[in-house]
């Protein structure tokens, strides 16, 4: 399996605090079943702005440390880029990264308010032959209330990455409910741990895999955990199954709008 979303490069965002913690996290990932990991540190303008050359050095340092410790795990450079009008400038100027220098870009949305510029930013990426992937859309409150937003984005060619912890209720019942709907309706294309700290999500991966497999089956689970991530890091085309259009019932809508 490939962990598609992690925060384990040390001291550049709110994830790992040391190379020792990084190696421990990767050891935990290995024990959870991940042989490859995409290092998607935050890139948020004026907040987390470690550029590509510095993160490239960290990839080399991490790779060497893993080799010295006998941990056979491959790591790839990426970013979780917070939505911004400047996203193409960041990518062109070597500030932020696509996934392993591919055409796939992991984008983070605000959690509580649909940004006015979302469609303009997506269009700018697509005009430059890049494929946006939205990180954990199930955590966005406006998508929870209006899943049509996610459906519209997928129709535009945008892909979706869910967090393993969402199906276990780690981000609340509303997130758990909507991610289940997404799985049921072919709306998720990648899975990621979104790990930040030791002794957290990796020990729960078997439980998450079990719950997700109950919904989508073994073949589809392998697609989300291994096949699609491998295609992305190798810059290959992903064949996307058209999602099912669905609507929340009145009872479900009330549930999603209540605090």
* Residue 103 CB neighbours (<10 A): 15
Structure token digits, residue 195: 């790990």
pLDDT tens for residues 17-65? 999 999 999 999 999 999 999 999 999 999 999 999 999 999 999 999 9
Model pLDDT, residue 68? 94
pTM of the full structure: 0.95
Q: To the nearest 10°, report the CA torsion of 233, 234, 239, 243.
A: 0
What share of the chain in percent tops pLDDT 70? 98
Is pLDDT of 250 > 70? no
Give me the domain span that covers residue 173.
Answer: 2-257
Of 3-7, 83-87, 121-125, 244-248, the range with the lowest mean pLDDT is 244-248
Residue pLDDT, tens place only, 131-172: 999 999 999 999 999 999 999 999 999 999 999 999 999 999
What number is the average pLDDT over the span 170-188?
Answer: 96
Name the band, by pLDDT with cuts 50, 70 and 90, for residue 12. Answer: very high
Read off the pLDDT of each residue in 175-179 and give the average, rounded to a whole number: 96
What are the two backbone dihedrals, phi and then psi, of residue 227, each rounded to the nearest 5 degrees? -65, -55
The Cα 176–Cα 165 span in angstroms is: 9
Across 214-240, average pLDDT: 97
How does pLDDT run across 106-141, given as a tens digit for each residue?
999 999 999 999 999 999 999 999 999 999 999 999
Residues in a beta bridge with 106? 80, 133
Dump the DSSP string for 182-240. Answer: HHHTT---EEE--B-STTSGGGGHHHHHHHHHHHHHHHHHHIIIIIHHHHHHTT---PP
Answer whether residue 259 shows pLDDT above 80.
Answer: no
Identify the band that residue 254 occupies on the pLDDT scale cut at 50, 70 and 90.
confident
Q: 56 is written with which tokens? A: 């490239």
CATH number for position 231: 3.20.20.140
The number of domains in the chain is 1
What pLDDT was estimated at residue 248?
75
C-alpha–C-alpha distance, residues 26 and 196, integer Å: 11
Contacts of 35 (CB under 8 A, 6+ apart): 1, 2, 72, 73, 74
CA angle (122 as vertex; 121, 126 as ends), nearest 5: 120
User: Quick one: pLDDT at residue 249?
Assistant: 73
């Amino acid at each position: 399996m490939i962990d598609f979303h992690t925060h384990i490069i040390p001291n550049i965002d709110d994830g790992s605090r040391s190379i020792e913690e990084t190696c421990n996290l990767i050891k935990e990932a290995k024990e959870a079943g991940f042989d490859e990991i995409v290092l998607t540190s935050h890139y948020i303008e004026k907040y987390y702005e470690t550029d590509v050359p510095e993160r490239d050095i960290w990839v080399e340092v991490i790779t060497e440390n893993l080799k010295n410790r006998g941990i056979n795990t491959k790591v790839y450079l990426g970013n979780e880029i917070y939505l911004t009008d400047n996203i193409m400038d960041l990518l062109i100027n070597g500030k932020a990264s696509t996934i392993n220098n591919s055409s796939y870009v992991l984008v983070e949305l605000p959690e509580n308010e649909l940004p006015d510029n979302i469609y303009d930013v997506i269009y700018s990426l697509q005009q430059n032959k890049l494929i946006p992937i939205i990180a954990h859309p199930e955590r966005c409150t406006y998508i929870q209330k209006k899943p049509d937003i996610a459906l519209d984005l997928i129709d535009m060619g945008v892909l979706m990455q869910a967090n393993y912890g969402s199906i276990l209720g780690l981000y609340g019942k509303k997130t758990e409910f909507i991610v289940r709907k997404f799985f049921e309706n072919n709306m998720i294309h990648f899975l990621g741990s979104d790990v930040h700290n030791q002794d957290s999500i990796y020990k729960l991966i078997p439980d998450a895999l079990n719950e997700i497999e109950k919904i989508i089956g073994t073949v589809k689970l392998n697609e989300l955990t291994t096949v699609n991530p491998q295609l992305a890091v190798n810059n290959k085309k992903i064949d996307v199954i058209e999602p099912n259009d669905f609507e929340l019932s009145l009872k479900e809508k009330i549930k999603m709008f209540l605090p």
